[in-house]
Amino acid sequence: MIKTEAKRLGFLSCGISKAEFLEEEAPRLEKWLEENMHGEMGYMANHFDKRLDPTKLVEGSKSVISLLLNYYTPRKQEDDQAPKISKYAYGTDYHFVIKDKLKQLLFFIQDEIGEVHGRAFVDSAPVLDKVWAAKSGLGWMGKHSNLLTKDVGSFYFIAELIIDLDLDYDAPVTDHCGSCTACIDACPTDAIVEPYVVDGSKCISYFTIELKSNIPESFKGKFDNWMFGCDICQDVCPWNRFSQSHKEPLFEPHPGLLSMNKTDWEEITEEIFNSLFKRSAVKRTKFEGLKRNIQFLRD
């Protein structure tokens, strides 16, 4: 019933797992943090216990409902010399879009079942989204550390409802990366340090979105013209041949965004920035951050 309603709300798929301590993930996360692979993302080291145990995040929780929402589009920026934006940021900020759908799903569960307590999470709390999605059978963790599915690749957002209701749980699926190393070979900053391990502090998305200080000079010429985020490891993944266009009107590119040429971006004003990215994930980097990124690509 929950999965049917999730589909009706536009989610690509829905999987359910038992809310419990993530025993296998604990040493992995600890090692990743100890090796400073989170760079300046200090928040990744916060709430270590909550990140691994949803019952500490949502009191009395029994189930984690994981949901995928497709954002793939075959549309691209028209000027191939223009600085590039990751596909996920073409339209309205996914936090707004998904939060609304999650609330509707929670209300539906409460209407149908009765008193159910829970919280909705969209990439904004200490929840290991990809781990829960994999645990609930929605895909496997690829060598680029993104969730992958045989049917539709990896261009989707992951979100959760953590609720205090016992449900039937799904089983994980098997890994289908095989001997492929396309993502590792293609990463221009060598951020995928070994299969299934990404050094966040070397990732283009980290530099262009999360990093607040200056981008290290040693990465000059390695950004492949990305100014916000990066899709390289997903673009080269063979499973993304099966990506299908999303059906979410709010993810459609802002009018004029894809037609901006190299000069338009280099001369962007704060006024145009605010108009283009009014309800966009690009606001995360702020006007000054985007200007810094464009300048870094130019120099």
Placement of tokens 């590119």 in the chain: 253
State the pTM of this model. Answer: 0.95
Ordered by start, the domain boundaries in the chain are 2-298
Yes or no: say if 37 and 198 are a contact pair by the CB < 8 Å rule. yes
pLDDT (tens digit per residue) in 92-110: 999 999 999 999 999 999 9
Q: Which two tokens stand for residue 203?
A: 């990732």
Yes or no: say if 27 and 197 are a contact pair by the CB < 8 Å rule. no
Give the mean pLDDT of 3-10. 98
Q: Which two tokens stand for residue 210?
A: 């999360």
The per-residue pLDDT for 216 is 96
Residue 202 Cα to chain centre, angstroms:
17
pLDDT (tens digit per residue) in 183-201: 999 999 999 999 999 999 9
pLDDT (tens digit per residue) in 19-37: 999 999 999 999 999 999 9
The per-residue pLDDT for 123 is 86
Backbone φ/ψ region at 224: left (φ over 0), alpha (ψ -120 to 50), beta:
left
Helix, strand, coil: what percent of the chain each, to 5? Answer: 40, 15, 45
Confidence tier at 9 by pLDDT (50, 70, 90): very high
Catalytically active residues, by annotation: 123
Yes or no: say if 257 and 276 are a contact pair by the CB < 8 Å rule. yes
pLDDT (tens digit per residue) in 121-177: 998 789 999 999 999 999 999 999 999 999 999 999 999 999 999 999 999 999 999
Buried b (16+ CB within 10 A) or exposed e, 14-44: bbbbebeebeebeeebeebeeeebbbeeeeb
Amino acid letter at 67?
L
pLDDT higher than threshold 90 for residue 299: no
pLDDT (tens digit per residue) in 202-241: 999 999 999 999 999 999 999 999 999 999 999 999 999 9
Give the mean pLDDT of 269-283. 95
List helix spans (H) across the chain: 2-8, 25-34, 48-52, 54-57, 94-113, 129-135, 182-186, 204-205, 232-235, 262-266, 270-276, 286-298
84-85 vs 226-228, strand pairing mode: parallel
